[in-house]
Amino acid sequence: MIAGALVDQVVVVVGGTSGIGLAATRAIRDSGALGVVVTGHDTATTQQAQSVLGAGCLCITGDAREPTHAHAALRLALEAFGRFDALFHVAGGSGRSFGDGPLHEITDPGISATLALNLESVILSNRAAVRSFLDRKVAGAIVNLGSVLAESPAPKYFATHVYAAAKAGLIGFSKSIAAYYAPFGIRCNVLAPALVETLMSRRATENAEIRQYIRTKQPLDGGRIGQPEDLADAAVFLLSPLAKFITGQVLAVDGGWSVSEGQYPTA
């Protein structure tokens, strides 16, 4: 937690009711934010998050793939807290259940569903945020959650090629809007984690062979799987005025993944 980093700021977190998003929301709240609006796709999880986060955070349920979703969250922020200063887009996830995987195995539904979840939803929320900043003639910050797989593949264990394409597209999109809107005081950066222990990553985190691989692929701090809290302060920093001179950048919080080869177990 970066004390005072977000004093008097109002942040919207799209996909903030569990995992990385929930840890970031807690850090945002504890960094002095005036208010936080958090969205989630599951009613039960959203209600649970509300009880954990308390009155300074407002949690709503909806689908980040719907164009109205981010608009509703931003409108709530303005109505409840009188302002909106920053967006953290976390919503996304694996496309394996839709049919993502190695290219020769990918299904047609897997392509469209994975792109909608991991790229189209980002474009929709960012569009809503930029429109709000421009309409009110205020500066603002956007942080989008990417993945190290966009730029640092691990083909043996993490071959979901549409997901990687979506996250790479997210980087290109974020850099493009960062360049275009910088004169308006609107910043956009990307936070790129490696393997983090969340519901989405359970396939990998519960696999003994992958855990062994991670010991050398993410060698920092004893060679461990990341925790959602590992990204929280980085998110706060990029969302806050502390990063007022930073835009169009990708910050990898990856335990060394992007600079480490990783060793496969021998037979």
Give the residue-averaged pLDDT of 166-186. Answer: 98
What pLDDT digit, counting tens, does each position of 104-163 carry? 999 999 999 999 999 999 999 999 999 999 999 999 999 999 999 999 999 999 999 999
Instruction: Give me the percent of the chain exceeding a pLDDT of 70.
Output: 99
Q: Is the pLDDT of residue 266 over 70?
A: no
Nearest to 216 by CA among 261, 155, 182: 261
Q: If you count DSSP H runs as helices and E runs as strands, how many of each does the chain have, helices first?
A: 9, 7
pLDDT for the residue numbered 3: 86
Cα 99 to Cα 201: distance, rounded to the nearest angstrom: 16
225 touches 180 (CB < 8 A): no
Please give the class, per CATH, of domain 10-253: alpha beta
Domains of the chain: which residue ranges?
Answer: 10-253
Edge-to-edge strand order for the sheet containing 140-145? 57-61, 35-40, 10-14, 86-89, 140-145, 186-193, 250-253
What pLDDT digit, counting tens, does each position of 54-65 carry? 989 999 999 999
Q: Kindly list the catalytic residues.
A: 163
Full-model pTM: 0.96
205 touches 225 (CB < 8 A): yes
Cα 52 to Cα 55: distance, rounded to the nearest angstrom: 9
